Chain A
Amino acid sequence: MKLTAQLTYGLIACILLVSAPHAEHLPIWVSAECGALLLWRAYLARSGKALPPRWLLLGITVLSVLAIAFSFRSLFGREVGVTLLILLSTLKLLELKAVRDATIVVYLSCFIIITNFFYSQSIPTALFMLVTLLVILASWVHLQTGGLAFKSRLRIGGVLLLQAIPLSLILFVLFPRVQGPLWGLPQDAYASSGLSDSMSPGTMSKLSLSDAVAFRVTFDTAAPSRDRMYWRGPVLWDFDGTTWKRGRNATTRTGILEDTGMPLSYTVTLEPHNKRWLFALDMPDKLSIKYRLTPDFQLLSEKPLNARTRYRADSFLNYRANPDEPSQQLQRALTLPRGLNPQAQQLADNWRKQHPHDDAAIVREVLRHFNQGGFEYTLEPPLLGMNGIDEFLFQSKQGFCEHYAGSFVYLLRAAGVPARVVTGYQGGDYNDLGDYYILRQSDAHAWAEVWLGERGWIRYDPTAAIAPARIESGLSAAVSNPAALPFMARNPPPWIRALRFNWDALANQWNQWVLGYDTETQFAFLTRLGMEDISWKNMALNMLAGIFTLVGIFTLLMLRRLVVRQTDPVQAVWLKLCRKLEKSGLPRLAHEGPQDYASRIGTAHPALSEHMDDLAARYIGLRYQSQHDEGALQAFKHAVAAFKL
């Protein structure tokens, strides 16, 4: 078929649709260049002018590739690959000469769709994919049908796609999943957001501006009350005056929990954050995936978490944590940078003098100080200098959780009480639709743990002393200026909240069942379906059986309309009569009309003559002389039924 303007528009639409989602991360000049090239191509198709000469295209291609190499400083890697692919596909449109070139453009469009999934695999992306696929199929069908109208092509493509959906579903469920990757992934493969392994003023308040989901939790039994939901993340020991860091543990002995009650079981679906932390309720006992428990009860996975991860976890809410902490570790929990924050040191010394042997009393003094010293909980605390703790405690008195946790631990250490900062998430939004809790980045929190000898490490949350609402009801209840908070942390109207929860519940299902469908989920799902002995062979057999069944059904449905038999009721009755006669050895000859037939039978069997003539006359009258009425037809029917040889 010829490459008409119509076809060219279709191909331009294909490239436009598949590249459009990339616009947000392509260099702006590439988007602009592709847009200009597409416009140019559309103009050429419209005006019927000749395509640009080969040397010009070659020049543009070489220059563009060079520019990409220059702007990315490489020609390898995923981003560069995607950029090159889009640019070259666009250029391919400018050298459409034969149907072959058009076919290549169609294949390239299909391939570019998949590159978009590096960036997003959400439900809207999936819907957009279907729309794009429909347009591509319509253009593809165009290549094989020439002058067919757009609507008909769209219909053919749409029917094909609709039939392909159930088939692909079977393939999706049963196609044996291989745990990737097959080859090394480039470093730019994953984005990261979430808790880091250090904390300085501003770390948490910055995170709390994000609505992004950190993880979701489903409890097996009743969930604990909100003020007990402390999701433990990195534990920070080392302080240099401004920043708290994890440092190195001075022991390799795993932490020990004593006097625990019954464990609480739940399932966590963790969004990828490109770090190794796994989150679990204070204090974690064990997980269902490979992990390591550090001496300070931190959960680490083997590799950075760059895919959505699902695990079951057990936690103890009541415990005595490491009452016999080794002294090297306790020493770390007392170390402070020298010569900084003299006022804080003096305050701590005073408390120590009042309670020479009672560490717990000192903790109470610090909490009372925060509670009654005119402190304010705010997202926008003033900047602090070198003696940050002093400035915060005695001048600004405005801070977010990292300020309170940091200075709390500082004061205790200054008074000689071992303490450390713990970061993680606190609370969770309950989604009653999906019966799970959502933890967002805005739930990021910092608190403290104090070692009180026999009682081990005990959790204290100084933020609770200043803004108890933060712990009991969330961020929006606690800060004075909720407008600065992300949308969902701000307590929006109930119907918006419900809408968002619905959407999140749907997205959660999508994440669990579609995006998270890996080797393990596949195994679990197939077991639940009642499939025994799940092996590659079995899955392949089931897959083929399912596909053949469906294709069989499609075939029957599709081939049904190939021949439409005559449905004229008058003729049907006449044919019935002919069959009757044929059975008696008097078949109608191909050239015989009803009159000839009747007279031939009349001559051969004079007994039938009258009856036959009557029937033939009725037939001719009904069918050819438009004497059509229901009564006559019924009479004809009865006459034929009564006809006996």
Chain B
Amino acid sequence: MKFPDIRGSLKLKFRNWAFRRTVETGTVQLNQRRIYILPTRQFFGFGFVLVLMLLGDINYNLSLGYVLTFLLATTGGLSMLYAFRNMAQLEIHAGHVEPVFAGEQARFVFHFNNPGSLDRHQIHLHDDEGHETVFDLPAQTSTPVELALPATQRGWLDSGRLTLYTRFPLGLFNAWTYIHFDVRALVYPKPSAPQPLPIAAAPDGSGKTTIRGDEDFAGLRNYVPGDAMPRIAWKALAREQGLQVKEFSAQQGQQLWLDWSQLPDIAQERKLELLTRWVLDADAQGLQYGLRLPDGEVIPQHGPSHRAECLRRLALFGVHES
């Protein structure tokens, strides 16, 4: 549905009209009022086979044929109950979504809880664009289910209304429900191609132009997305201490301002992308850096939370929170 055709948009309109549209918070429990069931295309194929069999039974007076036909028919019918049961009473709540850069996949996490003593099989979760994930849910377990949606634009990415469906056990019936959680992912601008940091613009006038933040090894800190590859402490990873990044002490007192107004005259989005790149580089080099945007500034600092704040400002620049 990349290019929504008339049929697709009609379908969407019908669904919006026919099914609930509310955005939910907290934990949702799937009850019979939320689960819809309709036969699938296979159901009609199977029905056709059964009708043929029944005609054969009548014509050739095959009593055992009647038995077989009825067994298959009732099995098929019962599978509807199974499809419903496979979804019923599941508890779902939305989890935390890590911010991503535009162009990456935002990983929405939903926590599914199966409170019953029955295993649930092959539950599909997908959005309207067809991004899908499939999972099983054994009895009395909770599982985080990750749905990766492409983040194309900076700003907030809404998961949209998601469809949760199952065709267990025979594929003859489709039991589904819609879930639309109040959950969104923060999408940072896509970092532009590497550009040297605007060191010359350092306003402190110390005269030092070469700032290298890799002179003295200062220690390890936890990895945050966006850290430069060469700084990852592979040895620490090999020692199973998790993904860590080497930090180097830069000379104190050096402050770098990443200033919107100093940028050449390029499109707004390009400016944001460039600033994003610089924030990442400056952070990787262990510099104290500040960000100055038309709508405010972040004073120079260093550290993961500072970096996150800068990126957040860039992501939400000009975005009106609704």
Contact = CB atoms under 8 A, between A and B. Distances in A.
A378 B121 CA distance: 70
A182 to B, nearest CB: 5
Contacts of A562: 85, 88-89, 115-116, 118
Interface in B150-176: 167-171
A515 B55 CA distance: 17
Interface in B70-119: 70-75, 77-79, 81-82, 85, 88-89, 115-119
A126 B67 contact: yes
B74 A164 contact: yes
Given A144-B121, A561-B116, A564-B116, A118 B60 contact: yes
A167 B45 contact: no
The majority secondary structure among interface residues of chain B is helix
B42 interface: yes
Given A107-B46, A129-B68, A163 B78 contact: yes
Given A144-B121, A171-B74, A183 B59 contact: yes
Contacts of A299: none
Contacts of A141: 168-170
Contact of B75 (A103, A129, A164): A164
B130 interface: no
A165 B85 CA distance: 20
A37 interface: no
B53 A121 contact: no
A168 interface: yes
B140 interface: yes
A403 B211 CA distance: 126
B118 A113 contact: no
B59 A164 contact: no
Nearest to B66: A172
A311 interface: no
B58 A182 contact: yes
A562 B122 CA distance: 17
Given A114-B53, A180-B58, A564-B116, A171 B73 contact: yes
Interface string B47-75: 00100110111111111111111111111
Given A107-B49, A145-B122, A146-B122, A161 B75 contact: yes
Contact of A160 (B56, B68, B169): B169
A140 B168 CA distance: 10
A549 to B, nearest CB: 14
Interface string A507-518: 000000011111
A563 interface: yes
A202 B88 CA distance: 73
A437 B82 CA distance: 49
A168 B59 contact: no
Contact of B65 (A117, A148, A156): A117
A26 to B, nearest CB: 19
Interface string B117-149: 111011000000000001010001000000000
Interface stretch (A39-47, A227-235, A550-558, A609-617): A550-558
A633 interface: no
Contacts of B167: 144
A178 B66 CA distance: 12
A180 B59 contact: yes
B172 to A, nearest CB: 9
Nearest to A118: B60
A185 interface: yes
A143 interface: yes
A156 B119 CA distance: 11
B60 A185 contact: yes
B62 A114 contact: yes
Contacts of A541: none
Nearest to B170: A140
B64 A564 contact: no
A175 B46 CA distance: 20
Nearest to A161: B75
A127 to B, nearest CB: 11
24 contacts: A103-B171, A107-B45, A114-B65, A137-B75, A143-B171, A144-B121, A145-B121, A145-B136, A156-B169, A160-B75, A160-B78, A160-B82, A168-B73, A171-B73, A171-B74, A172-B66, A172-B70, A180-B61, A185-B59, A185-B60, A515-B64, A558-B82, A562-B118, A564-B115
Given A148-B136, A183-B59, A562-B118, 18 more contacts: A110-B49, A110-B53, A110-B68, A110-B72, A114-B68, A117-B62, A117-B65, A133-B72, A144-B167, A145-B168, A161-B75, A163-B78, A168-B74, A175-B70, A514-B64, A515-B63, A551-B81, A562-B115
- A-B pairs with the 8 shortest C-beta distances? A168-B70, A167-B74, A562-B116, A171-B70, A562-B89, A164-B74, A121-B64, A164-B75
